[in-house]
């Protein structure tokens, strides 16, 4: 079956601009190629699609990725999870899934034409894909629980992070705080980020439900902007919840609490 995908790279590079997020990607066994469909397909087509998509991703994994047990195991678990959960594969799910491969990863450094306020659907989807790209780098040998996060600043810059665990569990760092640390260190202006509330959105992706930040991460995010948009998603990239941070941590404690307590 492996020879079926010899033209897949060319196929996806040629059709990607015309694919919509809700389109179905289906492998046609007769034509030996992937096709785009708008509606449900047969069980045989579904099975062939999953079989050949797994080969496609595996073919594009680097030698280092193949030698890394956790990365390889992670993509296998992602495949099993989506396969059992959904049966059919939408384009958004495929874009999320292929972030395991360095050759196929979609990395964004800056959002184009962003005014600091209008976070469009396209920007949200890009943030989710970037969060999942970072998720593929997670160091989670103990929990096998990979998480990725991407932060969007008012200037349009994007910073991403993943969780990394430690044998002393208390030293584990979550993806959200990893992304915050990157934004603060690379911008070299933590005070300015906080005072101007320049972090306007964060996307969080994990497998097994909505990617809701833990309490520690909510508090860390609250430090920089209680009103930032939190985009939470499973790895399918379809069932998404969006909330302003202040709804996830009501009556939160932050820098303004110190200002309110001052007596002149």
Catalytic positions, written as ranges: 176
Sign of CA pseudo-dihedral 89, 95, 99, 104: positive
Helices 43-60 and 69-86 sit at what angle, rounded to 10 degrees? 160
Spell out the residues 6+ positions from residue 109 whose beta carbon is closer than 8 angstroms to its own. Answer: 157, 158
The CA distance from 179 to 160, in Å, is 5
Helices and strands of the chain, counted as H and E runs: 11, 7
Query: CA 36 to CA 175: how far, in whole Å?
Result: 34
Closest Cα partner for 203 from 134, 137, 124, 92?
A: 124
């Amino acid at each position: 079956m492996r020879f079926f995908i010899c033209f897949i790279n060319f196929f996806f590079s040629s059709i990607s601009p015309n694919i919509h997020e809700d389109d179905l990607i289906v492998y046609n066994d007769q034509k030996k190629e992937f096709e785009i469909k708008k509606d449900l397909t047969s069980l045989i087509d579904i099975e062939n699609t999953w079989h050949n998509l797994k080969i496609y991703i595996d073919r594009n994994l680097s030698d280092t990725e193949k030698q890394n047990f956790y990365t390889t195991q992670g993509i296998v678990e992602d495949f099993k999870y989506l396969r059992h959960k959904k049966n059919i594969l939408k384009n958004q799910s495929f874009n999320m899934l292929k972030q395991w491969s360095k050759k196929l990863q979609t990395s964004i450094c800056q959002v184009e034409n962003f005014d600091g306020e209008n976070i469009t659907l396209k920007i949200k989807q890009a943030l989710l894909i970037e969060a999942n790209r970072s998720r593929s780098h997670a160091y989670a040998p103990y929990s096998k629980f990979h998480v990725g996060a991407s932060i969007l600043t008012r200037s349009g810059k994007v910073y991403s992070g993943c969780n990394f665990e430690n044998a002393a569990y208390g030293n584990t760092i979550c993806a959200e705080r990893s992304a915050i640390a990157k934004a603060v260190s690379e911008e070299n202006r933590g005070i300015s980020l906080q005072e101007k509330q320049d972090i306007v959105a964060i996307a969080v992706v994990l497998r097994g439900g909505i990617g809701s930040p833990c309490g520690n991460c909510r508090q860390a995010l609250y430090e920089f902007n209680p009103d930032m948009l939190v985009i939470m998603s499973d790895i399918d990239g379809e069932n998404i919840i969006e909330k302003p941070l202040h709804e996830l941590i009501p009556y939160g404690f932050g820098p303004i609490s110190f200002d309110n307590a001052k007596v002149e």
